[in-house]
Amino acid sequence: MPSLSPAIAEIRLAVRTALADLPEGSAVVVALSGGADSLALAAATAFEAPKLGLRVATLSVDHGLQDGSDAVAARAAHAATTLGLEGLVARVDVAGEGGPEAAARDARYRVLKDAAADAGAAAVLLGHTLDDQAETVLLGLARGSGAASLQGMAPVREDDDGLRWVRPLLGVRRQATRAFCEASGLEVWDDPHNTQDRFARVRVRDRVLPVLEAELGPGIAEALARTAEQLREDAEAFDEMIHETIEDIVEHAEAGISVSVAALAANPAALRNRIIRLVVDSEFGVSLTRLQTLEVARLATDWSGQGPIDLPACSATRAGGR
């Protein structure tokens, strides 16, 4: 009996571990682009899910951003059927703020959520790898947007509707998914966008990470992924502290929210700033920049009579001890 490829064994184990706590009899939807990462994920899920009593479908999204994108999506769906899975295709209109990458991502997640609802699925599986995680951390670092962006992508996230978004391959290197496909005889589609250096992620992948590996030694991607994991643990602890604190210091006011000056000033800066960001986001649905957050904090810590601070969708002002 031929030995199992190490890449196949690694990825099947990662998928089996990720699926283990899903209810027996439930369904999962695999996001399948036809690239090596998602194809390896779909193939491993096709092998592991039936043993756990799970039903599997795939969804291939045609974003319409490239010539022949409909044929690419159809080919990915056909690959799913050869694996014994239901291969669905959806066409989306890509429009929105934040550039084509962000708009395409938002459209893709919307249609994946709809497909999961139609299938009664408990989870959507995404094919992001450890390399994707490392790139995400570096991009967050370059933006200077704080610890939240450096946490990278969560292995499991549950949305407001109870749907799980699961990334089984976050501990797997990208070369392993390609080795999986080669060992399995699966034909991989290589997205031409992944070679276009007008995209920041491509520049990080092709230029920045190789330079870091060459200058600082191997293991940079793994170190960045570990950093993201540690920051997520810290964030979870902070979030618990913040919610407990907010219950004591925040009150609803006629025109919005009222926060105790003394309580804000008494907290460490890291906690104080997180409280401000969370309160504003929860109440008004906007994210403050660091500069805006610090200006609001000064109303509690360094107040000398300054007037209201204009913020997105709201304003902040000091009135007495609030």
**Which of 56-60, 122-126, 273-277 has the weakest average pLDDT?**
273-277
Task: Give tens-digit pLDDT for 151-209.
Answer: 889 999 999 899 999 999 999 999 999 999 999 999 998 888 788 888 889 999 999 99
Q: What's the confidence (pLDDT) of residue 234?
A: 83
Q: In the chain, what are the domains? A: 6-220 (3.40.50.620), 224-316 (1.20.59)
Tell me 3's DSSP state: P
Task: Quote the pLDDT of residue 100.
Answer: 65
pLDDT of residue 180: 98
For the question of whether the overall pTM of this predicted structure is more than 0.85, the answer is: no
For residues 9 and 41, the answer to whether their CB atoms sit within 8 Å is no
Q: Is the pLDDT of residue 65 over 80?
A: no
In the chain, the percentage of residues whose pLDDT exceeds 90 is 58
Mean pLDDT value across residues 22-48: 96
Please, which residues bridge with residue 58 across strands?
30, 87
Q: Is the pLDDT of residue 263 over 60?
A: yes
Q: Which residues pair with 86 in a beta bridge?
A: 57
Mean pLDDT of the chain: 89
36-50, 59-73, 140-154, 251-265: which has the highest mean pLDDT?
36-50
Each residue of 225-237: pLDDT tens digit?
998 899 888 878 8
Q: State the pLDDT at residue 320.
A: 83
Which pLDDT score is estimated for 295? 94
Question: Nearest Cα to 306, choosing from 318, 292, 293, 294?
Answer: 318
Q: Tokens 């992948």 correspond to what residue? A: 205
Q: Is residue 258 within 8 Å of 251, Cβ to Cβ? A: yes
pLDDT tens-place string over residues 280-289: 988 888 888 8
- Residue 283 tokens read as 């109440």
Phi, psi of 127 (to 5 degrees): -95, 25
How much is the pLDDT for 98? 57
Confidence at 113, pLDDT banded by 50, 70, 90: very high
- Compare 240 and 119 and report the one with higher pLDDT: 119
Residue 103 has what pLDDT?
77
Instruction: Compute CA distances 106 → 61, 169, 284, whole Å.
Output: 12, 21, 21
Rounded (5°) CA angle 249-148-170: 135
pLDDT value at position 145? 61
Instruction: Please count the other Cβ atoms lying within 10 Å of the Cβ belonging to residue 22.
Output: 19
H-helix or E-strand spanning residue 233:
helix 220-249
